Amino acid sequence: MTAHAATPDPRRPSPAPPDRPPNAPPPETEPTPTEPQAPPFAGWPPGDQPAAKPEAEQAAKGPARAQTAEPASSGPGPAEMEADGGGSPRRGVELAWPVRGAAAGVGYIALPPTTVDARASGPTRLIVAWPGFDPPRAAGAMAAAVPMTGVPTWRVFLDLPQASDPAGGLPTGLGSQMFLSDAGVTAFGTAVEQGAERLPAVLAELRRDLGVPEGPVALAGFSAGAAVVLLALARQDVQVSTAALIAPVVSPARAARSVEKRSGRERSWSPAGVALAERLDLSEHAGRIAGAGAALLLIGGARDRIVPAAEVTALRDLLSRCGAKTVEAATFRMAHALAAEPGLEARPPITEAVRVDGVLTDWFRERLAEPTTRTTPPVSLHLTGSSS
């Protein structure tokens, strides 16, 4: 089965229905300017703002197959999906719209390579990224915040494996007093550990759904999602060529201490919660993280009270001492959040996210791509004739 989707031309107005003249006012049923209408996020199909599918909803529907977002109209065009009967695009067929689905029980949104000024080089053709417990909290919100559109590879944004509500355990984020409770640290630890444990199975299904060949992957993550990246590097279950970490939660205990200082309350973790936090002190795994051989980029915020910039640079120095070949750090004037509240759906990116997206794009392009435009050699003019 082959589905074709025409790409609408934004320069042409949509034709009016036969029963309404071209210059007639819109019907009363259409939204009025006073109704809140979020601007469309570049890269999504017109009128389709994807949000991550809850894991519980997906489980009720049974095993999921990748699906492309519905285009505005059908017909031959550059946006083409060839399906295998279950909705999965086959290898070699270009897609113009994001693909939504679930892999190993984890919801995802996949952005296809659409940049025209670069092409993938080398064996890495897939970037996998996770959101955090603070905005952006879901795959769709993360994809809107840092889409990395200029990278000519698939960019797949995963939900953190947890309750159906992406903010389930910590409704107000890691900086809230909820993190001081046993339920808070358990929700955090479960998401991080399961995210890393499921990665091999997730990758296997993503390669099948998206037609991505075998090879190393690139990873990215924000906050708790960056902790997933660090744990995946330490586990060394998959080959990772490069990774970028935004405000990584290196130590849950240190993050909790910062909350204690601001709130004046003490954590109430059970012995199991304390053991979980100690197990996820990723600075203790620095040797294995460095030994994974991936080129690492660490990004911190100068106004971040959950993961201070000094902690990010300290992690860089620790990984360098442990033998990491390439590890760089950058600091931006930003707090911890990378999107506006509630951070559960795709919304136009905030200023801080635009800056971070630019750095991520440059980082991954430098390592995974090459320009398509080659430098033209100077033209040599050979003139014939007489000279005086």
Give pLDDT, residue 383: 44
Q: What does the pLDDT look like over 361-379, one tens digit per residue?
A: 999 999 999 998 765 555 5
Cα(277)–Cα(254) distance, integer angstroms? 10
Cα(74)–Cα(3) distance, integer angstroms? 8
Give pLDDT, residue 43: 43
pTM here is 0.74
Cα-based torsion angle of the residue sequence 136, 42, 122, 290 in order, rounded to the nearest 10 degrees: -20
Q: What is the mean pLDDT of residues 120-135?
A: 95
Partners of 330 in the beta sheet?
Answer: 299
Q: With pLDDT > 70 as the criterion, what percentage of the chain qualifies? A: 69
Residue 292 in this model has a pLDDT that exceeds 70:
yes
Residue 319 in this model has a pLDDT that exceeds 80:
yes
Residue 359 in this model has a pLDDT that exceeds 80:
yes
What's the CATH number of domain 99-371, 3.30.70.100, 3.40.50.300, 3.40.50.1820, 3.90.1650.10? 3.40.50.1820
Cα(190)–Cα(276) distance, integer angstroms? 9
Q: What is the mean pLDDT of residues 242-255?
A: 96
Give pLDDT, residue 376: 52
Residue 110 in this model has a pLDDT that exceeds 90:
yes
Cα(181)–Cα(272) distance, integer angstroms? 12
Give pLDDT, residue 377: 58
Q: What is the mean pLDDT of residues 274-295?
A: 97
Give pLDDT, residue 174: 83
Give pLDDT, residue 375: 55
Is the CB of residue 142 less than 8 Å from the CB of residue 222? yes
Give pLDDT, residue 16: 41
Q: What does the pLDDT look like over 38-50, one tens digit per residue?
A: 333 344 444 444 4
Q: Which residue has the higher pLDDT, 38 or 321?
A: 321
The length of the chain in residues reads 388
Tell which phi-psi region holds residue 104, choosing left (phi > 0), alpha (psi between -120 and 50) or beta.
left
Q: How many Cα atoms sit within 13 Å of 71 on the Cβ side?
A: 19
What are the residue ranges spanned by the domains of the chain? 99-371
Helix (H, G, I), strand (E, B) or coil at 235: helix
Residue 54 in this model has a pLDDT that exceeds 50:
no
Is the CB of residue 96 less than 8 Å from the CB of residue 139? no
- CB proximity list for 310: less than 8 A, separation 6 or greater: none
Q: What does the pLDDT look like over 141-200, one tens digit per residue?
A: 999 999 999 999 999 999 998 744 444 445 567 877 888 999 999 999 999 999 999 999
Give pLDDT, residue 161: 86
Q: What does the pLDDT look like over 67-99, one tens digit per residue?
A: 544 333 333 332 333 333 333 444 444 556 899
- Residue that has been written with the tokens 């190993």 in this structure: 104
